[in-house]
Structure 1
Amino acid sequence: MTVTADRTVPDPTRTVPLPLREQADVRDRWLTQRLLDVLPGLMDRAGIDLWVVVGREYNEDPVLQTLLPATWLSARRRTILLFHRSDDGVTAAAVSRYPVGQFMPAWEADEQPGRTNEESQWAAVRRFVDQAAPRTIGIDVSATFAHADGLSHTEHDLLVAALGPHAEKLVSAEAVAIGWLETRLPEEIAAMHAMNRLVHQVIDEAYSPAVITVGQTTAADVAWWIRQRFADLGVDGWFQPTVGLQRAGSPLAEVRGTAVPSVPWDAVIEPGDLVHCDVGLSTLGLTTDTQRNGYVLRPGETAPPAGLVAALAVGNRMQDVTTAALQPGRTGDQVLAAARTAAAAEGIDGDVYSHPVGVHGHGAGPAIGMWDQQDGVPGAGSAEVRTDTVWALELCVRVPVPEWGGQLVRMALEQGIALTDRGVEYLDARQTELILIPSS
């Protein structure tokens, strides 16, 4: 890989979203820095000398998409990337029909007359491996993480055939793939601050008279407005936004052992409703995942009922005990157990189902519970928490509201946080007050 001098690029922490050309500059700069500064340590930690990432157009390995230049919106034909760890760092080579950014070209398609392109391409892989003489060769196969299981059956068979005796060195590159996907540069974390700030601004706008006409607008209307607003701003939603309502007289319903709001998803928003949204955007190759709550003031009200204010405070406390438990070296299951134990000691009735967020919304790395798995998550729950990662701190609490006749409210929160060697920091800011929505 040849590293070229950076040209002046915009600061994504100040302007999100950036124009597409400027986004490409930022993403390519990050890719170069990650290959130089992040990948060598990941390969050393995993004990892998050579990492092979293979994908074909329309069937890309999830990791491959994060290794390509920003102008490559997908693999082209068959794209093979080889990363060799040596004393000099990592040599990044491409066995591809077309040049791949700053990757060292390791194949000329017409260099072997009489062979098909496929035969010639795999022969180039074999030559590279022969010269590198690795002790271990990592490939993207994993029974635990879909993110690290991107090598298709066909490509696996072709790779094994091409490697010959080297095939005995094949091992899972799960640790490298997950580390690559979950580790964030300081510049990426700074950009995710700005991305979360944008999400919060869009939610504030959605929870306003500019969007909600109480008594007419439905929860579904608001969800579609948020998605359209993202598109208008030049960012993508990585899932369909959801907006839900809770109200006095409509108690939580039991669904598959979990208490959930019972108000229909397309109900009209009325005075006294608790409004909840779940939204996520994508830009710069990164994602967010956010939930926030608003209250529709009744005529004459200037503040929410004290019981709802208290419920949000309990949710904030659940965030506190979870972030206190989020310590590097612990597994996701250990963090979950510590958080739930601390919450129970304070009489908090709640669930934790937090997850990494970064390249993917439900990102690579340890799972800290799932909404339906509060005793631990097989496989993903045993992965270790590491620094320089970003999380969606996702959880809920159930609290009786006196003003609603003691009816339980499910206060669900989701907030981006970064875990660095300085500890946990909230991306932009967490919600500590209900957003007030006037009814007239």
Structure 2
Amino acid sequence: MTLVAPDPTRTVPLPLREQADVRDRWLTQRVLDLLPGLMDRAGIDLWLVVGREYNEDPVLATLLPATWLSARRRTILVLHRSDDGVTAAAASRYPVGQFLPAWSPEDAGGPPTEQGQWAEVRRIVEQADPRRIGIDVSADFALADGLSHTEHRQLTEALGPYADRLVSAEELAVGWLETRLPEEVAALHGLNRLVGEVVEEAFSPAVLTVGETTATDLAWWIRQRLTDLGLDPWFHPVVDLQRAGVPPVEECGALLPAVPYHSPVLPGDLVHCDVGTSSLGLKTDSQRTGYVLGPGERAAPAGLRRALRTGTRLQDLTTAELLVGRTGNEVLAAARAAAAAEGIDGDVYSHPVGFHGHGAGPAIGLWDDQHGVPGAGDRVLHADTVYALELCVRVPVPEWGGQPVRIALEEGIALTGAGVTYLGDRQTELVLIPTG
């Protein structure tokens, strides 16, 4: 997708070649503008990102040029912080895009060998003489724990006495993954809006035939539509139904819809979907809820509209607590306290989103654990980061005989120095689905 003037939040699918140009330009800008400050914040002088083909460090994919769809053989990227910024070099068998080539097996006068490649890494380290060498090992973030056992062993052996300077690059890896350029945030505006338009199309008579179309049908239609638009779903869409007379079931302490996925959508149903897609290397994660109008209805029952307002109120209470410098667990506790003060029965389970759908960064609750997340929940929120504001409320509906409904909401939001901004079009009203 690309930005389309004059509205910078509007996007349309871009040809792959043009997407590659945008991604490579962003990579250069990120290395030049973001990485020096992130390395200083983490106290890392030299960062080694290592992966082998089909066993890549998750961080590695975010540093490779757009034409590289994976590592090739063993790919070693060396990022050195100096007074002039960051020098990005590659000790790899093949040239790696914009990275300076630091090793060629032909220069050694023989076939490529593991020993020669690791010897070059040792030479770079000796020349740079860094105090702290960051490697991707982490107990709390899988995305920052990508250095495999074999690569760690061989790196340690190659570095010799310099191995004593190896430290976890968790802070740096997470910072790199979670921090967004302004252009990336603008693209996410458009991508989230486009997903919303696809869902509204799915909830229209052009796609949904009441009495015939099932939740499973809708999920597959959404996935196919996103694919046809040139977008890549990162999980299969989830579509579920809630219906008067079919109370939700409790599972792991949560109320979940009990209408079978193969059941046709009927008048009076609540139709909910959870959709995640990607473009330009960035992910979205959002949810929408619609109501199928019954005979003679022009609006959803007041109880359902009130349930949605309760959900958007919990969003407001949560975003009010999203402050730079707080931890995810502090945000969770403050939001839950504010909700309890207003008598809202709900859960907050928001997460970072960016290069990955469930991204690295502060966890703000889990759907099955509202007491805080050890490790990931203790991480501090930083500016210029993006989250999926995900939560739910449970509200009894008088028109359904007091049966509770679960309103699940999820919106992309950006946290900057100016506060919280919604990405795309925030849902504040139920999508009305006509019967005919």
TM-score by length of 1: 0.97
CA distance in 1, matches of 2:3, 2:128: 38
Match of 1:400 among 396, 400, 412: 396
Match of 2:234 among 235, 238, 260: 238
CA distance in 2, matches of 1:110, 1:172: 33
Q: Is 1:141 matched up with 2:137?
A: yes
Match of 1:369 among 365, 369, 372: 365
**What residue is the counterpart of 2:427 in the other structure?**
431
CA distance in 2, matches of 1:400, 1:124: 66
DSSP-derived class of the 2:194 partner: helix
Name the stretch that deviates more: 109-118 or 229-238.
109-118
**What residue is the counterpart of 2:58 in the other structure?**
62
Note the 1:271-310 alignment, pairs <5 A: 271-310=267-306
Q: How far apart are residue 16 of structure 1 and its match?
A: 2.9
CA distance in 1, matches of 2:89, 2:59: 15
Note the 1:205-284 alignment, pairs <5 A: 205-284=201-280
Q: How far apart are residue 113 of structure 1 and its match?
A: 3.4
Unaligned runs of 5+ in 1: 1-8
CA distance in 2, matches of 1:240, 1:325: 31
Q: How far apart are residue 287 of structure 1 and its match?
A: 0.5
The residue type equivalent to 2:53 in the other structure is E
How big is the alpha-carbon RMSD for the aligned residues of Structure 1 and Structure 2?
Answer: 1.1
The residue type equivalent to 1:108 in the other structure is S
Match of 2:12 among 3, 9, 16: 16
CA distance in 1, matches of 2:129, 2:179: 28
The residue type equivalent to 1:348 in the other structure is I
**What residue is the counterpart of 2:30 in the other structure?**
34
CA distance in 1, matches of 2:98, 2:353: 27
Note the 1:99-138 alignment, pairs <5 A: 99-113=95-109, 116-138=112-134
Q: Is 1:50 matched up with 2:42?
A: no
Do the aligned residues in 1 keep the contact of 2:11 with 2:191 (CA within 8 Å)?
no
DSSP-derived class of the 2:368 partner: coil
DSSP-derived class of the 2:316 partner: helix
**What residue is the counterpart of 2:183 in the other structure?**
187
Deviation string, structure 1 residues 220-263 (Cα, Å, up to 9, x no partner): 00000000001110111000001000010111111111111111
Q: How far apart are residue 275 of structure 1 and its match?
A: 0.5
Do the aligned residues in 1 keep the contact of 2:283 with 2:355 (CA within 8 Å)?
yes
The residue type equivalent to 2:267 in the other structure is P
DSSP-derived class of the 1:313 partner: helix
CA distance in 2, matches of 1:117, 1:422: 51
Do the aligned residues in 1 keep the contact of 2:2 with 2:187 (CA within 8 Å)?
no
CA distance in 2, matches of 1:257, 1:84: 48
CA distance in 2, matches of 1:114, 1:222: 58
Give the count of matched residue pairs: 432
CA distance in 1, matches of 2:157, 2:217: 54
Unaligned runs of 5+ in 2: none
Do the aligned residues in 1 keep the contact of 2:242 with 2:405 (CA within 8 Å)?
yes
CA distance in 2, matches of 1:296, 1:346: 30
**What residue is the counterpart of 1:322 in the other structure?**
318
The residue type equivalent to 2:221 in the other structure is W
**What residue is the counterpart of 1:75 in the other structure?**
71
Q: How far apart are residue 11 of structure 1 and its match?
A: 3.2
Point out 4+ residue stretches in structure 1 off by more than 4 angstroms.
none
CA distance in 2, matches of 1:434, 1:115: 64
DSSP-derived class of the 2:318 partner: helix
**What residue is the counterpart of 2:152 in the other structure?**
156
CA distance in 2, matches of 1:334, 1:266: 41
Deviation string, structure 1 residues 403-432 (Cα, Å, up to 9, x no partner): 001111100000000000110000122100
The residue type equivalent to 1:78 in the other structure is R
Change (3 A) 1:226 1:115: closer
Do the aligned residues in 1 keep the contact of 2:309 with 2:428 (CA within 8 Å)?
yes
CA distance in 1, matches of 2:309, 2:290: 14
Q: Is 1:340 matched up with 2:356?
A: no
Q: How far apart are residue 116 of structure 1 and its match?
A: 4.8
Q: How far apart are residue 115 of structure 1 and its match?
A: 7.1
Note the 1:193-204 alignment, pairs <5 A: 193-204=189-200
CA distance in 1, matches of 2:3, 2:236: 29
Change (3 A) 1:339 1:10: closer
- Aligned-residue sequence identity (percent) comes to 72
